Amino acid sequence: MQVKELVERFGFEVKAGNNGLDRQIKDGYCGDLLSEIMANAPQGCVWLTIQGHQNIVAVAVLREMAAIIITGGQTPDEETLQKANQENIPILLGSHSAYQLAGRLYALGVGNPQPE
């Protein structure tokens, strides 16, 4: 699934990184502790977090993520949006909690191995 398909399906607001909406989502990851995300988030994942500062973009670039979803109605600061646009990292906003959204993404097959 591409990031733009996820946006359409869930009605996310795209706050930054429009040039990265064609990225392929291979997995998902939830977390807010940046060191843990840097160590464990898989490449090509969509990252669910409540963080909104510009360090999330650096982590997303480092881990080659497909997108960042800021959950729970949180909003990123302007510096974060500028950095995400520079790096073509989509930042999506959603009102669902990370728990609710992770379940819905998994049910769609994100990070859930599908039988062939």
Q: What is the domain range of residue 50? A: 3-107
Is 56 a member of any domain?
Answer: yes
Is 113 a member of any domain?
Answer: no
Is 15 a member of any domain?
Answer: yes
Is 116 a member of any domain?
Answer: no
Q: How far apart are CA 64 and CA 89, in angstroms?
A: 9
Q: How many domains does the chain have?
A: 1
- Which CATH number do you get for residue 17? 3.40.1390.20
CA dihedral 72, 74, 80, 81 (to 10 degrees): 90
Is 112 a member of any domain?
Answer: no
Is 94 a member of any domain?
Answer: yes
Per residue of the chain (116 residues), what is the pLDDT tens digit? Answer: 999 999 999 999 999 999 999 999 999 999 999 999 999 999 999 999 999 999 999 999 999 999 999 998 899 999 999 999 999 999 999 888 999 999 999 999 888 765 54
Distances (CA, A) of 83 to 53, 86, 113: 10, 5, 33
What's the pLDDT score for residue 96?
Answer: 87
Is 115 a member of any domain?
Answer: no
Confidence (pTM): 0.94
